[in-house]
Structure formats: structure tokens, C-alpha cells
Amino acid sequence: MKVILLDGNSFCYRAYYAVRDLRTSKGFPTNAVYGFITILDKMIKDLEPDGLALTFDLKGPTFRHKRYEDYKIHRQPMPEDLVLQMPVIKKVVEAYRIPIFEKEGYEADDVIGTLAKILEKAGHEVLIATADKDALQLVTKKVKVVNTQKDNQLYDEKAVKARFGVEPKRVVEIMALMGDASDNIPGVSGIGEKTAVKLIAEFGSVEALLKRLDKVKGEKLKENLEKYQEDARLSRELATIDTEVPIDIDPEGLKIRPPDSERLVELYRELEFRSLLKGLAPCGHNTDDKDLSYTLIKDEKEFEALRKKLASSKEWAFDFETTGTDPLLAKPLGISFSFGEKEAFYAAFAASGPMNAREVLSALKPLLENSKIKKIGQNLKYEAMILMNYGIRLEGVFFDTMVASYCLNPAKPNHNLDDIAMEHLGVRITSITELIGTGKNQTTMAEVDLDRVYRYGCQDSDVTYRLSKILEKKLKEKDLWELFETMEMPLVMVLADMEFAGIAIDSALLGRLSHEMEKTISVLTKDIHKKAGEEFNINSPKQLAEILFEKLKLPVVKKTKTGPSTDVGVLQELSEVHPLPKEILKFRELSKLKSTYVDALPLLVNPKTHRVHTSFNQTVTATGRLSSSDPNVQNIPVRTEEGRKIRAAFVAEGKNSVLVSADYSQIELRVLAHLSGDPNLIKAFKEGADIHRYTAGLIFNVPMKEVTDSMRSSAKTVNFGVLYGMGSFSLSKSLNISSEAAKDFIKAYFNRYPKVKSYLDANLEKARKNGFVSTVFKRRRYIPEILAGDPRVKSFAERTANNAPIQGTASDIIKIAMRLIDEKLRKDGYKGRMLLQVHDELLFETPKSELDKLVTMVRKLMSAAVEFKVPMDVSVKAGPNWLDMKEISSQ
């Protein structure tokens, strides 16, 4: 059989450095474990061995240390994070049912050498998986070395001879002469690999060489060999792998066996390896269990029976199967319900007749609009918008599993049903891609066989129902239920209303903007080529790097794996020494604006509503902020003239309507004042002072009247810099002052606002102790990286720990305001609608006749959303489009 012998320590080091800082939500490092598993799986798949064994070094000295005290003396100790992971890696190996061999007093190489010799004698083929060139001395006809770091490069006798010019058994002779710096094997001074290879090829061995020193050419070389001959003999001894380690082995015990799936699931769940969990289906927990009761509703009689059950139930989970992902355009194919564990029903919609979508949903309307029946779902916003197409407003929105998962761990990369089912239920469910495929081969749900569709639909509502019970318990255990119930769940319908409303755009204006930008980009392109002295592809980082760094000889600011970087930061720095980078930045900005917004927006207009309907993502950002997509309305730049012009394309529909913008003024600084309780900061906001001018007056110790614009600008930089953990280095660059001056500036700031410093320091302590920070409303942001060994990772985590409670609280406040305003709009029958949320700003569309009433209501509810130590000021503007707006006084 073909057996792989794996150097465990070498693999662990490789995995540790291959996967950068990865931790569980509790802060335990997992990068080496994850890397080890993925590398191991790939190796088994690529090499297809019949047997496998791992070796590890044990703590304590080996026979080599006893022979030579300084052996490996320069080796850095194993990183602390890797030390923690070694026992876990061994647990994973045991769950894979792979035998581990270790022997006190010997290194992993010696154990591998001994195993290889025993297996070779028994007639087996051996592959030694390691990147260590020492192992090449073990190569024979039956034993080969595979370097997994170099895409499984194989070394047989021929390859070793090609590499060193000698047969494998003489490799140790070469190492005796050249030494090994990593292991502190001395070798002979002045001899490197090239000379060592040449000498052993000529003389055959170290001893033969030392006996015939008179034949060596070169006096200095001869002198060194004579002087360091004992070092050469010692080095040969140290470099020789011992193949006589006293260990017992049964070759049959090395045969690859199926892993212990139950144990792996347990480990992967503990380590929070969601992607690895997907590949495992724990026994007794699959979704094709015999105890599942999934029913297809085929006719009116069966549907009526289901409807009665739903009417008598206090709660149920439901889920639509549709033809697409856009709820405004997708057609529903069927609806599933679950009101008991492992039980679900699927009503398939017919193209016509009594079981068509409109008839079925019409019959269900009283139940769907009954607020006393609790509705459960995964991404209920989608279901709610499907129902809006049929004139149904979903009431009783009680539990969204996607939102619950997000509240429990906002740092999770996604909250898909298959991920959270595996994480919290240990169940591997059929994913949508398994049903309809991906890429070019993707079909639609309408083309999938009904038998598969109904089981899939039932599975989703059943698993969602089951998850809601587990997630509710976990939310309450972590004191997150109030946040979930009173803030996040009400927001689901608020966002559904906003997305359904959409916003009108001026396509003609965008057409003119596109034409203007095209002309500007054309002029810029010619100018760039002229400054570069030749034509090249401006969008190619490689060609741009050649122009900047090879032709123009500009300094290389930053390097990447592929060469010198040409990112925004680099180009901004180079703009100070050459005009070309500035032109490149302008070209990039215009090109992005044109493609992302100016040309894309008209394509996003809904053919039915003739409006653009962005998607608000409630479960994406780690801070609690909303994000948006298709289009991303939160990323339209407002600091540049071109970006502002795009805002002009978002318009009020009709001459009798206007857009209204309501924006919290400096909300994050106000949150900081409340959280820190700093009297100076609180006083400034209570008095309605210009906070940046006020701060400048304190820092520069001058009356506010004497604060110059330059002083105010510097104070503004520090005010906002404090929120994002700006240090003296960043501040010195921002203000173009020395690092020492920046330190003094920050010191002066904290002297004037001492409680801000105390608050930030206390916040860091909490983060280190608990592994997370919280907003005023108990929203958590887990920051396990705060305990990382890497200073850069740790520094970023500390900045995050200070900013997250501030930014998160600010986002929570606007969510509260959105809920209050949405309730008021519907309760009082306003014709105006809330359309967009962009960070601290809300955008409305209202008839001109309701303008004053809406402005008064919005300002009042936003200002009163929270009772803080400082007032929440709101500025309100109105106009025909999002750009041309006039301030509306609060008087």
C-alpha cells in the first residue's frame, strides 16, 4: 500500500502562518487548526494514499541536544497562539482516526525515518510529506519525499540527484559541510551549498574528503576544512536521521478509515468552523430523517384543512419558494408552513384555478394580517414584500432567525439558513445551490421537480421553526432579547416598507452626466498618457506600476505579493512628488462613479414601479449599521462635485411632491459625550456651541472668538480622530505636523476632556476581560483579536473596541427613530413615505401640502428617540431632489 508519513510540527507551523489571525467568538485562536485541516484534506485528495500516519516532536531535549548543547539554540519558541492550538490539532487528528507517533528524546524526523524503514522492509511505498530538506537522505526506490509547500513536488532518487548532484544517502554529507542555520548546525565556515555539493560529488563523503585534504583546490578552503574538521564530523552526526528509534508499528493500523463524524462535528462546532461543518452530516440528524413529516398540499380540500390548522395556531413559520431573488419581480411558486418540530406543509401554487397564488394568498390574508398570530421566518422582509405585491401587509412579525443570528454574533460572515442550522442544530440542510445549481448551469425554482421543491420548502420552514426556539433561548441568556424584540424585529417591516416604496430618479439627467463624464475621462486619458510619455492601460495595476516605478522612477511606497502597490494611499502620497498620480486618482474616481452609479442607476429602474428600489441589509455590518445594495445609496460620495451631482438624480416624483432630508448633527460626538460623561463636552452640546471651535478654544487656550479656521480644522480632526482611535502618527500625517507635536495635541485634548480618556481606557479593559464591547442598548461587538499576539491586529482591535460602542449606539438611535416615525406615518395616515436611510440621515418623499406637518413630526421624533445627557440635534432640508435642498428652520 501507499503510506504518507506526515511531519506534524512542520505542517502545524505552515498552517499557522498560512491562515492569519482567526479566532472563535470567545477569542480562542483557530488559524493553525483550520489551516491544518484544509491542508490535510487537500493532500489526501491529491495524493490518494492507502495509509497515513503523523509524527510530532515532544517537549524536552533529544539525543542531539545532549551531543551538542547549542543545537537549535537560535530557534524562536513556538508562538503562544500555536502552542494553544497543538492539543486541539491532535484531537482533530484522532477524530480523523489517523495514528500519531511520538518518542521522547527523538525528533519527528527520526520517528518518520524509522517508520519509513520498517514500511519499506514490509514492501510498502512510502511518501514523506515535509518541506525539510533533511528528509531527502531517506529517499530510496520505495521511499520518496513530497514537498506539500511546493504543490506536492515529488523527490525520488533521480530528483534528489538532479537537485544535489549526488545520491540521497550522500545528502547528509553535504549538510555536514554547509551546516544548517535554522538548527544551528555549524558545518564548515566559508562553505555554502554550492561548494559542499562540489566537494561531496568529488570525494564521496566527509571522511574521504578530510583524509585527502591535499587534493583540495584553494588554500583558504583547505585551511577551513582542516581547522573545522571536528565541526564537520559533529554536523554530520547532528544532520543524520536516526532510523532505529524503538517504536512499535502495525502497518495495518495505518490504513485510512472513515473519520469519526460525530466527534468532528462536535469539534468543528466548538471551533466555529461553519464551512467545514457543511461537509459533514452528523448521524441521526440529517434532514432526511424518517421522523420528518413533510406534506404536499395538492387540492382545495387539503388546503382548507391546513388553513384551519393555521387559524387555530398561536404561531407558525412560513417560507415562499419563488422564481427569483427580487421580491418585487419574483413570482411565488408555493408557500410552506411549520407549527411543530419536524413537521411542515407545502402548498404549491397552480398556474390557474382555485390553487393559484392570488386565490391561496387571498384565503390566507386574514391570518397573515392577524397580529395575534406570531410569524416566524428566515429573512421575513422578503416574505413581507412578496405579500405586499398582493395587497397584504404582514402583521405579527415575531421572529426572524437571520436577524436573531446576527444579534448573537454580528461578526459572522453570513447568516444563511444552512449555516445557522448547522451551527445551532447540527443539521446539514439542502442549500438553494444544490437545488438550482450555480453559474452558467443555474436554473430557476420553476424548473425543479415539484417533489424536490416541496421537500425543500418544508425543510426551510421546519428548520426555521426549530431554530427560533433555540435562538430565542440564546438571546435571552446573553441579555440580547430586548434589543432583538424592541429594535431589530420592528425594523424588519420598516425596511420592507422603505424598499417597497423605492425612489424616483431622473434618467435624463444621468444620461447627460454620463456624456459629460465620458468627455472628461477622455481628456484625462490623453493627459495621463502625455505625462507618462506613452499610451498604456490605466486600469492595469501592472502597467501603471511599470510607468510609475520603472519609467518615472518614483519611490515604491508599499509592496504586495505581485509587486509595488498602486492603491489610493500610495497614489495620494506620490501626488506630492509628481503630477501623474493625482490625475490617475481623478480618472479612477470618475470611472467608478460613471460605472457604479451614472450608468448603472437607469438599469436598476423597476419596470413595474418605474422607481429604484435599493435593498437594505440588516445583518451585514459588525457595528449594527444598515448597509444597502443595488444600488448602494450609502456610498455615493458627497465631498466631490461629481458625487453631489449624482444626488441630484434622486428626485421627488411629480411637481406636487418634495424630498425631505433629516440628519442627526454630530451624533457620534454626542454619543461620546453621553457615554463618557465628560462635563466640558456635555456643556458644549447643551449650549449649542460649534463643537470643533469649542474644542479648539480649549486646546489652544484661547477664547472661542479668537479661534481661527485653521485651529478649528485641527480640532475637528482630533474630535473625529478620537472616535476612531487615531494615534499620534496618523494625526501628524493628517495635520502635517511632527509626531511630537501630534502627541502634545492629543495630550492637550485629553487634558481638556479627561473623562473621555477615562471612558476609552475603561472600555478597552472591558473588551480585554469580556471579549466584547456593547452599545447603550446592549448590542454586542465581539473582538477576540484584542488578545492577539500580532501588534498590528491587536492595535486594530483596540481601535474597534473604542469605536464600536459609539458608532453602534449611533446606529441604534436612528433605528429607534425609524421605528417611531414609521409607526406615526401609518397610524396618522400620512401620504408621505420614508424612502432611504444613509448613516445618520433619513430621506422622505411627501406631498408639499404635508411638508410642514411631516417636518415637525420627524424632527420631534428623531430628537426624542433617546433621553441622553446631551440633546440630539436634527437638521432638516427639503427640495425637488436630493442635492438642491434648503434648510428648514426649527422655529
pLDDT tens digits, residue range 362-407? 999 999 999 999 999 999 999 999 999 999 999 999 999 999 999 9
Sheet containing strand 125-129, strands side by side? 100-101, 51-55, 2-7, 125-129, 143-147, 153-155
CA angle 776, 798, 868 (to 5 degrees): 20
pLDDT per position as a tens digit, 743-764: 888 888 888 889 999 999 999 9
Strand partners, 356: 350
Sign of CA dihedral 587, 589, 590, 592: positive
Nearest C-alpha neighbor of 808 from the set 615, 616, 617, 621: 621
User: From CA 219, how far away is CA 201, in angstroms rounded?
Assistant: 20
User: From CA 773, how far away is CA 806, in angstroms rounded?
Assistant: 10
pLDDT per position as a tens digit, 321-337: 999 889 999 999 999 99
pLDDT per position as a tens digit, 875-886: 999 999 999 999
pLDDT given at position 282: 43
* Amino acid letter, residue 432: I
For β-strands 780-782 and 615-617, DSSP reports them as unpaired
Strand partners, 713: none
User: From CA 68, how far away is CA 441, in angstroms rounded?
Assistant: 63
Let me know: does 317 contact 338? Beta carbons within 8 Å.
yes
pLDDT per position as a tens digit, 5-60: 988 888 888 888 888 778 886 678 899 999 999 888 888 888 889 999 998 887 76
433: burial class by Cβ within 10 Å (0-12, 13-18, 19+)? exposed
pLDDT given at position 311: 97
Phi, psi of 620 (to 5 degrees): -115, -55
User: From CA 109, how far away is CA 114, in angstroms rounded?
Assistant: 9
Among 269-273, 408-412, 441-445, the range scoring the smallest mean pLDDT is 441-445
Share of the chain above pLDDT 70, in %: 95
Strand partners, 52: 4
Sign of CA dihedral 251, 254, 258, 264: positive
CATH topology of domain 2-159+242-254: Rossmann fold (3.40.50)
User: From CA 618, how far away is CA 414, in angstroms rounded?
Assistant: 11
Q: Strands (DSSP E) along 777-858, which ranges?
A: 780-782, 833-838, 841-847
Distances (CA, A) of 273 to 408, 413, 727: 16, 12, 35
C-alpha cell recorded at residue 329: 419581480
Share of the chain above pLDDT 90, in %: 46
pLDDT (average), residues 638-663: 92
- Top pLDDT among 726 and 675 is at 675
Query: Reduced to 3 states, what is the DSSP secondary structure of residue 7?
Result: strand
Residue boundaries of the structural domains of the chain: 2-159+242-254, 283-501, 505-610, 620-668+775-783+796-891, 669-774+784-795
Determine the length of the chain. Answer: 891
Is residue 878 within a helix (H) or strand (E), and if so which, with residue range? strand 874-879
Nearest C-alpha neighbor of 872 from the set 665, 693, 695: 665
pLDDT at 75 over 70: no
Q: What is the dihedral of CA 726, 732, 736, 737, to 10 degrees?
A: 140
Which top CATH class is 669-774+784-795? mainly alpha
Residue 547 half-sphere exposure, CB side, CA atoms within 13 Å?
24
Residues contacting 620, CB < 8 A, separation 6+: 627
pLDDT per position as a tens digit, 116-135: 888 888 889 988 888 777 78
* Number of other CB atoms surrounding residue 152 within 10 Å: 14
Let me know: does 784 contact 28? Beta carbons within 8 Å.
yes
pLDDT per position as a tens digit, 280-299: 654 333 444 668 999 999 89
- Top pLDDT among 691 and 411 is at 691
What Rg, from alpha-carbon coordinates, does the chain have?
34
User: 3-class secondary structure for 469-481?
Assistant: HHHHHHHHHCCCH
Residue entry with cell 545528502: 171
Let me know: does 678 contact 695? Beta carbons within 8 Å.
no
Superfamily of domain 283-501: Ribonuclease H-like superfamily/Ribonuclease H (3.30.420.10)
CATH code of domain 620-668+775-783+796-891: 3.30.70.370
User: 3-class secondary structure for 100-145?
Assistant: EECCCCCCHHHHHHHHHHHHHHCCCEEEEECCCHHHHHHCCCCEEE
Peptide bond before residue 631 is cis, with ω within 30 degrees of 0: yes
Residue entry with cell 524526523: 109
User: From CA 136, how far away is CA 204, in angstroms rounded?
Assistant: 17
pLDDT given at position 386: 97
Strand partners, 663: 841, 875
pLDDT per position as a tens digit, 542-588: 899 999 998 888 888 888 767 888 988 889 888 888 999 999 999 99
pLDDT per position as a tens digit, 472-516: 999 999 999 999 999 999 999 999 999 999 999 999 999 999 999
CATH topology of domain 505-610: Taq DNA Polymerase; Chain T, domain 4 (1.20.1060)
* Number of other CB atoms surrounding residue 632 within 10 Å: 15
Let me know: does 55 contact 111? Beta carbons within 8 Å.
yes
For β-strands 51-55 and 2-7, DSSP reports them as parallel
DSSP-derived letter for residue 54 is E
Confidence of residue 717 (pLDDT cuts 50, 70, 90): confident
Let me know: does 135 contact 109? Beta carbons within 8 Å.
yes
Sheet containing strand 657-664, strands side by side? 833-838, 841-847, 657-664, 874-879, 886-888
C-alpha cell recorded at residue 442: 443555474
Confidence of residue 260 (pLDDT cuts 50, 70, 90): confident
User: From CA 245, how far away is CA 62, in angstroms rounded?
Assistant: 12
Sign of CA dihedral 646, 650, 654, 657: negative
pLDDT at 533 over 50: yes
Phi, psi of 276 (to 5 degrees): -75, -35
pLDDT at 613 over 80: yes
* Amino acid letter, residue 661: S
C-alpha cell recorded at residue 217: 583546490
Let me know: does 262 contact 284? Beta carbons within 8 Å.
no
Sign of CA dihedral 41, 46, 50, 51: negative
User: From CA 379, how far away is CA 377, in angstroms rounded?
Assistant: 6
Phi, psi of 120 (to 5 degrees): -60, -45
pLDDT given at position 657: 96
Confidence of residue 70 (pLDDT cuts 50, 70, 90): low
Distances (CA, A) of 591 to 281, 594, 637, 883: 47, 5, 13, 21
Long-range contacts of 860-863 (CB under 8 A, 24+ apart): 861/817, 861/820, 861/821, 861/824, 862/662, 862/664, 862/814, 862/817, 862/821
Sign of CA dihedral 556, 558, 563, 568: negative
User: From CA 319, how far away is CA 97, in angstroms rounded?
Assistant: 41
Of the ranges 73-82, 85-94, 557-566, 875-884, the best mean pLDDT one: 875-884
pLDDT given at position 466: 97
Confidence of residue 197 (pLDDT cuts 50, 70, 90): confident
User: From CA 146, how far away is CA 157, in angstroms rounded?
Assistant: 12
Phi, psi of 881 (to 5 degrees): -145, 175
Cα 491 from chain centroid (whole Å):
24
pLDDT given at position 471: 97
pLDDT at 646 over 90: yes
Query: Reduced to 3 states, what is the DSSP secondary structure of residue 154?
Result: strand
Nearest C-alpha neighbor of 473 from the set 416, 545, 401: 401
Query: Reduced to 3 states, what is the DSSP secondary structure of residue 865?
Result: coil
